[in-house]
Amino acid sequence: MNHLVWHQHLPAIVTAAIMLGVAWWAWVIFTRLRLRFDQRSSLILLLPRLAVAALLLVALLDPWLRTTAPPTEKPGLLLLLDDSKSMAVADRPDRPRLVRGQEAAAALTKQLADVARIETTEFDGDIPALCASLGPRVATSGVAAAVLVTDGGDEPVRPAALPVPLHVLAVGSDPKDWNDVAISEIEAPERIDVGTGFRLTTRLVARAAAASFRHQLSDVAVTVEERIKGKWKALRSKKVDLGSGAAQVVFDIPADAGSRAATTADEGPAARTFRVAVAEVEGELSPLDNAREFAVAVGSRRIHVLFFARSLDWNFSQIRAELRRDPDVRLTALYRKTPQTMALEGDRRQGDDVLEQGMPEDAAVLDRYRPVILGAFPAEELSESQAVALREYVDRGGAVVILGGADAMGGGWCDSPLEPLLPWKPRREAAAVLTGEFPVVVPAPARDHPAMRQAAEALAAGPAPTLASLNDVGDLKPGAIPLLDVSADGAQRSVVAIEPYGRGQAVGVATDTMWQWRRRSGAGREAFGIFWQELVRSLAGSSESAGGIRVEWDRPSYRPSEAAVATVSVATRRDTAAFVRGHVVVEGEERPVTVSPVPGVPGKWTVAVKVGPRAPHVLVIEAVAGSDVLARLESGIVVQPRPTEGSRLEVDVPFLTDLAGRSGGTATVEDVLPIARAIRGQLAQSAVAVEQPLVQKAYVFPAIVLLVLVAEWLVRRRFDLV
């Protein structure tokens, strides 16, 4: 298809004025010629001049010839055929789903072979994983559209983006014509504590097109099984009546007896795998949707704290009393009973006998605890190897709390391997302890920190409590975050601060009189308990909070191809301008992520991650000021495992329609024609348009102008005007 496109170089009003001027000029010339020649001769003499003027006007308007033609190479069409177990189901008496899908794919290939280069491939029915892989496949093969031939898959997904229009040809019949029993839904907790059971709710549906099948639904067995050492063991079984078409069954699942993985408090989190199975009924369409597997994470939420001190003083006793109020906290105390003897008391752990010899020289021993709380004692009481082990423990992900008091934090501490764990700049002089009444203040960065947020609210509820003593520490290090300040000598100085060190964290508490709050009434009494409980939880807690960085995901888990969005909060010192950067690690490969500041909310960002394959995803976030990394956090993105294949046999038409509509595609149920028409329309839009300037084409325009000028010369010669 050809048509002219004008590219005028002057504004329209100027072009119109020039055309009017040319018309006026032509009239003046014609009038003068009429004084000497008759009308016919005057027109003959005027025509060459008008032709030259018209050609110059055409050049001013610059016409281009646009030619629309199909691309030199046919665009690609990706035909994706589902060959999962559910496609083998014969939900119609003539042909199973897979055969009908293959026939539809062949018909589509026949109808589009003249306009597209068709590549047919099979996939296993995992639609979320397929959507996640479309981007790389399209980028390397030049695909312009894709067609998904499927019975709907076992889980709906809302992809973050699809690189090309995705059309969906659904294969499946109406369930009202089936004889089938299916598990429609399972409700179970995502996580349980070691040694606890849970309640499982199972919802069942039954479809009975034949009366003979309906008569068998009054007494159907439902069993819950657990996978133990690779084999399924029945836990509970019930009979249910499905004559009404639906039923709900509730099971009380017993606690794990402790003989399987991750069943003791000392072991890491694991999972118990279960299966709900409905007995197959004679004449049933398929047993695929009669069973469904699911997993429940199992792990102790207990927090194990190690307290190491010269002696068990009032400070320790009040901290211990508050931590014991938290049922998840277990506290082990290691202290010097005599100059030569160490004592180990409190909650014992398997393999902690080595602590009876004193602070360990191997960081692996300390890995059992998080955090480690150090009482007030001179640094010389730890050998260099013990101090190095403690520092290594923090460097690889541990947490330490260093309490203040006489002989603590100054002097020898600044000359020992423990100095990097202090959040204050080193002061080589002897550790002075200031006494008096120092009102406490919660600094702005601490109000959003997980270790101080609730305590700050408690302190704001009443008059500010005071501290009776204060270690004379220096200014904070660049990466440290103040959690609690005091007013002393007319200035505000930090008394509690947190600092990231390696993959772990270190907290300094530059006082030994905070415990007095617990013996008084008022805001300080409640704040003391909340502070220590939340501090220990944040240090022992998840990788979702570390070094002043906190990550909150918009959902607990995601499917492949979905967008995982997190809100990142960074608590920094007021005088530190920090920004956030990050990446996600998937199967050992680093991928960039989008980090955007939240408008109008300083210290907060949103991070968007497109979930890839069903593999561990780790988001790495860094808070950066200038060239310094202030804090680093690793947060795992939970990618949902694939559900039991074939657990949903009915075609989810609303989901497939939404999936196609998100990319401009079309969805039909076993109807090829609408999809073929839609693809033809989309491929027609990809035709190549070529424009050529006529004025500059092969010197034709200058040649015409010269011919007109020669013609004028001949005319003028005929009339004896040359």
Q: Do residues 639 and 616 make contact, with C-beta atoms less than 8 angstroms apart?
A: yes
pLDDT of residue 185: 92
Place of tokens 């590549």: 119
What single-letter amino acid sits at 636?
G
CATH number of 177-298: 2.60.40.10
- Stated length of the chain: 722
Q: Do residues 96 and 286 make contact, with C-beta atoms less than 8 angstroms apart?
A: no
Enumerate residues 6+ apart whose C-beta is below 8 A from 191: 269, 296, 297, 298, 299
Q: Closest Cα partner for 486 from 448, 522, 446, 544?
A: 446
Helix (H, G, I), strand (E, B) or coil at 189: coil
Residue 302: is its pLDDT beyond 80? no
The second-level CATH assignment, the architecture, of 76-172+651-684 is 3-Layer(aba) Sandwich (3.40)
Q: pLDDT of 416-425, one tens digit each?
A: 888 889 998 8
Residue 651: is its pLDDT beyond 60? yes
Residue 266 banded pLDDT, cuts 50, 70, 90: very low
Residue 69: is its pLDDT beyond 60? no
Residue 168: is its pLDDT beyond 90? yes
Enumerate residues 6+ apart whose C-beta is below 8 A from 35: none
Sheet of 563-570, strand order:
545-546, 549-553, 563-570, 604-610, 594-597
Transcribe 399-422 into DSSP letters. EEEEE-STT-SSGGGGGSTTGGGS
- Domain coordinates of the chain in residue numbers? 2-69+691-718, 76-172+651-684, 177-298, 303-541, 546-637
- Spelled out in words, what is the top-level CATH class assigned to the domain 303-541? alpha beta
CA dist 530 and 538 (Å) reads: 12
Helix (H, G, I), strand (E, B) or coil at 523: helix
More confident residue, 51 or 658: 658
Residue 300: is its pLDDT beyond 80? no
Q: Provide the 10 A C-beta neighbour count for residue 106.
A: 13
Asked whether this chain's domains 76-172+651-684 and 303-541 adopt the same fold, the reply is yes
Topology of domain 546-637 in CATH is Immunoglobulin-like (2.60.40)
Q: Closest Cα partner for 679 from 231, 166, 330?
A: 166
Dihedral of CA atoms 465, 466, 470, 474 in degrees, nearest 10, equals 70
Helix (H, G, I), strand (E, B) or coil at 178: coil
Q: Do residues 624 and 580 make contact, with C-beta atoms less than 8 angstroms apart?
A: yes
Q: Provide the 10 A C-beta neighbour count for residue 458.
A: 17
> In the chain, helix, strand, coil percent, each to 5?
30, 35, 35
Least confident of 89-93, 379-383, 629-633: 629-633
Give the orientation angle of helix 453-460 with respect to helix 523-540, to 10 degrees.
Answer: 170
Q: Tell me what the mean pLDDT of segment 587-591 comes to.
A: 90
User: How many CA atoms does the CB half-sphere of 14 hold within 13 Å?
Assistant: 6
Q: Provide the 10 A C-beta neighbour count for residue 513.
A: 18
pLDDT of residue 256: 75
Q: Closest Cα partner for 656 from 122, 77, 239, 130?
A: 130
pLDDT of residue 329: 85
Q: Do residues 224 and 274 make contact, with C-beta atoms less than 8 angstroms apart?
A: yes
Q: pLDDT of 514-544, one tens digit each?
A: 989 988 877 788 889 889 988 998 888 644 5
Q: Do residues 683 and 664 make contact, with C-beta atoms less than 8 angstroms apart?
A: no
Q: pLDDT of 219-240, one tens digit each?
A: 999 999 999 988 999 999 999 9
Model-level pTM greater than 0.75?
Answer: no
Enumerate residues 6+ apart whose C-beta is below 8 A from 599: none
Q: Tell me what the mean pLDDT of segment 169-175 comes to.
A: 94
CA dist 305 and 312 (Å) reads: 15
